Amino acid sequence: MPVPPPTPDFLDRLDLSLQRAFDLLSRGALDRRSAAHTPVFGSLGADGLASMRTVVLRGFDREAVSLRLHTDRRSPKFTDLQREPRCSMLVYDPGHRIQLRIDGIAGLHTDDAVADTQWARTQPMSRLVYGVPGAPGSAIEDPGAATQGLSQVDEATQRAHFAVVDLDVRRIDWLYLSSAGNRRARFDRDDGWAGRWCIP
């Protein structure tokens, strides 16, 4: 008969549930093997519909409770956030059976010290995608055309297309799936992250 997994210490503790959420995001920003490394990011499209895509989590500031992404400033995502900075992120870790639904306000960085510092930390291979001649999502005839000659594009052109998105987290909806009973909680910045239990 299978042995049930041990009961986690955060099961009935709001404070420990929030810390576990922060731990998951911290690891996601550093470990590419973490499920939180590639969350789903949602913005409001020009058509009024939710626009979703998988992104790479580049940073998590635990004290400020903010998340960091990189993007191409020509992308629809960047345009969406310029028009409407409210956005969302979804993280699901199947190994730990934890889901985080995150709402926040995006701050954009292009030609400032934040963007310069992040650009300096990117790998040469990662910079190549910012040399694509057209905006992400633009129609092309040849599917391979967008990736041809990228190594010949100068760094100044690549840098001109690079942007940083800092997501100031306003709310975290926490869900833990458990044989002992699912647990759901909501944490709001305006409430000092105190949290409250919700029906799963």
CATH assignment at residue 53: 2.30.110.10
The answer to whether residue 161 is domain-embedded is yes
pLDDT tens-place string over residues 90-125: 999 999 999 999 999 999 999 999 999 999 999 999
Q: Is 70 a domain residue?
A: yes
Its domain, for residue 24, covers 14-90+106-133+151-170
Q: Does some domain include residue 119?
A: yes
Inside any domain, residue 145: no
In the structure encoding, which two tokens stand for residue 31, read together?
A: 């470990």
In a domain, 127, yes or no: yes
Whether the pTM exceeds 0.95: the reply is: no
What's the number of domains the chain is made of? 1
Within a domain: 144: no
- Kindly report, residue by residue over 13-49, the tens digit of the pLDDT: 999 999 999 999 999 999 999 999 999 999 999 999 9
